[in-house]
Amino acid sequence: MSEELLVNVSPTETRVALVENGFVQEVHIERTQAKGYVGNIYKGKVVRVLPGMQAAFVEIGLERAGFIHAADIAPLDDDGMEERGAEVADIRSLVREGQELIVQVTKDPISSKGARLTTHLSVSARFLVYMPFTRHTGISTRIEDDAERDRLKNLVQEVDADIRKEEEGGFIVRTVAEGVNKEEIAADIIFLYRLWKDLSKKIKEQKAPAVVHEDLPLFMRTLRDLVKPDLEKLRIDSREVYGKMREFAEDYAPEIFEKIEHYPGERPLFDLYSVEEEIQRALGEKVPLKSGGYLIIEQTEAMVTIDVNTGAFVGHRNLEETIFKTNLEAATAIARQLRLRNLGGIIIIDFIDMHDSEHQRQVLRTLEKMLERDNTKTSLTGVSELGLVEMTRKRTRESLGQSLCVPCPVCEGRGTLKSPETVCYEIFREILREVRAYNTEEIVVLASQLVIDRLLDEESSNVADLEEFIGRTIKFKVEAIYHQEQYDIILV
């Protein structure tokens, strides 16, 4: 499998695209004025405790206060280390209003919700994640070889014992560490100890609310989080960022140093790989499949629903075979769309009903296999009695649609508008209300062109009947700036 990373940099935003076998799989966007907060560490102040929800709101200096649940507040033992596996205590015994709290953002503010916080602090390097308040050494579950897992765990513990002085803490070995040597692990541990020493000093000096640690910018996180051993090349269209990434790679990721390339071409980098087209398509609900079938993907506040349809695909043998092939193709497309659109939370997939249990198993296995490539944690259930597949995908930042779009100011996110006929009848009812409340000689209706046209044409007899009923003249005036649902009744 060939893999490339594209980094597009402008004065206002940085965009990164992950391309596998020629297809765009992921898009990450960071705007200068709206950077993400996941990974940032803050010195905050508890502003409200909610016993009924076992949670608290913490002011960290953002637009909205952050939210922390009791389960995300780690009780400490006598040595100041986290007590792992302890029962979740009453929130009132953990925090109080006005208390200062060191927290880390685990989920960006989304819609009207504030950032999700935790006191389980961690800082990341290339191969390791350092957890200053635990004694645990863990290995990424994506490293499946038992011998390699044991080697890495022993290596970290051996190197840590040689380097550690007064420092406490534990580590998680990241997926990208598979196959690394002792020197690379040692370099990460030394870097993380130095970083935490600097942060500890900041924590003591800062007054809440204040940011203590900001995660790396997107182009640097690309080197740390998205680069895999099978990466073929990493192309950047900014010479300045190219230089910074080469410097970073030389110190922390020398194995990919030669794979970093500067793209000087006239044609925009994202156009060259059709990334712009993929982004535009990912903002729509309908996803066509090669066979002629299609997906309908709808994102709501509570969940994401995906409906699979055969469309124009009629197959060659029988109906069951047609349905099976469509569902197989859909499973591959769904896994890609979840990554591309960065959809998270509860996801309900309505595959076309399959009566053959072997077909169901193969479709589910295909979906599982494609989701294994996803960097974000997913959990998948079997096919329910209704033929639905339920799954979850961890949501840490806004989806692509939420990042790039705002709700329609006309329909307010409904996706539909009231018909001109409906608006006409609303106008009739409003006129009746007004004439009963106020004494007036004439009524002027201001509305959009479509509504006025209907009032003067199809509804003209109803307008005449209404004028006769209320004993007043009704006049109409087109307001070009009004949308279809907007109107005003003027009493003269």
Percent of the chain with pLDDT over 90: 51
In tens, the pLDDT along 232-261 reads 999 999 999 999 999 888 877 777 889 999
Map 108-172 to HEC letters. CCECCECCEEECCCCEECCCEEEECCCCCEEECCCCCCHHHHHHHHHHHHHHHHHHCCCCCCEEE
Q: What phi, psi does 278 have (nearest 5°)?
A: -65, -40
pLDDT of 301 reads: 80
Token pair 């729509």 is at which residue?
A: 284
Question: What average pLDDT does the segment 79-84 reach?
Answer: 75
Instruction: Report how far residue 422's alpha carbon sits from residue 419's, in angstroms, rounded to the nearest whole number.
Output: 5
Q: Binning pLDDT at 50, 70 and 90, where does residue 217 land?
A: confident
pLDDT at 355: 83
pLDDT of amino acid 253: 74
Element (H, E) at 23: strand 23-31
Percent share of the chain, pLDDT over 70 = 97
Using the predicted structure, report yes or no on whether residue 161 has a pLDDT greater than 90. no
- For residues 432 and 213, give the distance between their C-alpha atoms in angstroms, rounded to a whole number: 62
Q: Are strands 345-350 and 55-59 parallel, antiparallel or unpaired?
A: unpaired
pLDDT at 313: 59
The pLDDT of residue 86: 67
Higher pLDDT, 12 or 334: 334
Q: Average pLDDT of the chain?
A: 88
Mean pLDDT over 452-457 rounds to 94
Distance of CA 407 to the CA centre of its chain: 17
Coil/strand/helix, residue 379: strand
The enclosing H or E element of 3 equals strand 3-9
* Inter-CA distances, 101 with 122, 143, 165, 393, 464, Å: 15, 34, 27, 29, 69
Write 214-220 long-range contacts (CB < 8 A, 24+).
Answer: 214/40, 215/36, 215/38, 215/39, 215/40, 215/124, 217/14, 217/30, 217/35, 218/14, 218/16, 218/28, 218/29, 218/30, 219/7, 219/9, 219/14, 219/16, 219/244, 219/245, 220/244, 220/245, 220/248
- Please report, for residues 131, 161, 173, 189, the alpha-carbon distance to residue 158 in angstroms, rounded to integers and kept in the order given: 17, 5, 14, 11
> Which two three-digit tokens encode residue 234?
């990493």
What is the pLDDT at residue 321? 83
Token output for 9? 């940099």
Residue 416 exposure: Cα atoms within 13 Å on the Cβ side: 4
Bridge partners of residue 49, in order along the sequence: 56
- What pLDDT score does 423 carry? 95
pLDDT at 315: 54
Q: 296-317 pLDDT, tens per residue?
A: 999 988 899 999 988 765 555 6
Contacts of 321-328 spanning 24+ positions with Cβ under 8 A: 323/352, 323/353, 323/354, 323/359, 324/354, 324/356, 324/359, 324/362, 324/363, 325/291, 326/289, 326/291, 326/293, 326/352, 327/351, 327/352, 327/354, 327/359, 327/363, 328/362, 328/363, 328/366
Q: Give me the mean pLDDT over the 144-156 stretch.
A: 90
The model's pLDDT over 260-273, given as tens digits with 9 standing for 90+, comes to 999 998 899 999 99
The mean per-residue pLDDT over the stretch 34-46 comes to 87
pTM comes to 0.76
How far is residue 245's CA from residue 351's CA, in Å, rounded to a whole number? 43
